[in-house]
Structure 1
């Protein structure tokens, strides 16, 4: 009875024809090529500057490019655009602009109390900022140096992501100019409010680091699973794309992964919205 067991088992699961196996392997190879092309497309998309990068470049003064060949200039522009895009995605540019706004208001208040006129105080306040912030606020420094009204310049610069404090400073400046109220006290209170808001943002960022890491893990786990299965000698792509059970598992996995990402993103957005940080 046991001697006939292998024969019965082999007859219960007949081998697939060679044509079906060749078709399955070919489809798996095509799926692998598509995944590779998709990864290359994602990498290439990172080198294409987005609208935020274009706006960031527009705030930088012209004439700072190095002289050289066209290839060197193009490579430098691509590297600068990629760096700006990555920093914008990480929120570093927004954070730097928020901190610069608070510092600008604080130094402006101190300069006004020292007896300087508003234009000279604005020039001195911009000079106390970091290099990138001074470059972005060069128009503001020029307006203060020439004695022009800085309110339109402040409102224009406030449109950049993370520079909302400049818009509030423009409102304080306009009220002080029209009513004769002291600008130093208003700028000082605004600096304290912006600093407290930035501290709250950092605290929220630390508290939300766990959910954000979970979202990244949910995105990477399926790819890691496919790689581990392939390294162990399996054929996960052939199973997922050539069998009904594999297609069902693929659809269920994609749906569950999308639901997990959406739920995590919703939790983060809800916390930011309730705290007024969004």
Structure 2
């Protein structure tokens, strides 16, 4: 049987995975790639586990198909979590801008208004804290905000607008409170509109999920009726090829549908 050697190789691969120090040295060779994608044994474990289950159920092709499904599901969950974090960061940034605007209109100095970031949410505090430190040191506040925008690409456009408003107020004397109020209203509107669009897309998203799961349901029904489609997929080259092609097409359809639905939400 080919199962035992394959399981042994997969176990050896997990045992030989680089440790934290080794991963840090490897990341230093390609820092740009390391910042965009980090793969550790903890994140690879679900993919390996899915491959093992697929290998036991449907042979070598089942291992590849199950691993592909695990990668697709993990990517979808990561994108969903990133979108949720971006929405939370935008909401907290809008609340922070409203606080700063209120303090400016009450007569506070921009440095004093910006230094009150401790009262803001944690995501907004992480974005505005470098700018508050720069303001207290007499440094360039718009430059600090732009550096924060680079660190948070999910809200980079919003932070860039705040930086532009701050630079415009410093250069031409335009009231900073009015500029920040406009930025806050724009962020708040896009946040609410995004929530509305997500709620309206709940139906199409559920329909896409059901359609993606239909082939699995069909295989289960065929197995219950005695047609034994699992044996067809496990036996012979044709069944293995059909399994890989079918799973790849389902994964591609799910990824494309998720891309279409995500592109409908304003950023």
TM-score by length of 1: 0.60
Equivalent residue for 1:115, pick from 107, 114, 117: 107
Where structure 2 has 5 or more consecutive residues not aligned to the other structure, the ranges are 1-54
8 Å CA contact 2:158, 2:187 repeated in 1: yes
How do 1:1-278 and structure 2 match up within 5 A? 31-32=58-59, 34-36=61-63, 38-39=65-66, 86=78, 89=81, 91-124=83-116, 126-159=117-150, 160-163=152-155, 164-230=157-223, 233-240=226-233, 242=235, 257=250, 261=254, 264-265=257-258, 267-268=260-261, 271-272=264-265, 277-278=266-267
* Distance (Å, rounded) in 2 between the aligned partners of 1:248 and 1:193: 51
* Distance (Å, rounded) in 2 between the aligned partners of 1:162 and 1:141: 21
* Distance (Å, rounded) in 2 between the aligned partners of 1:257 and 1:111: 53
8 Å CA contact 1:218, 1:260 repeated in 2: no
8 Å CA contact 2:142, 2:167 repeated in 1: yes
Over alpha carbons, which structure has the higher Rg?
Answer: 1
TM-score by length of 2: 0.62
Where structure 1 has 5 or more consecutive residues not aligned to the other structure, the ranges are 1-27, 51-84
CA RMSD of aligned residues (A): 3.8
Q: 1:44 to 1:244 in 2, by over 3 A?
A: closer
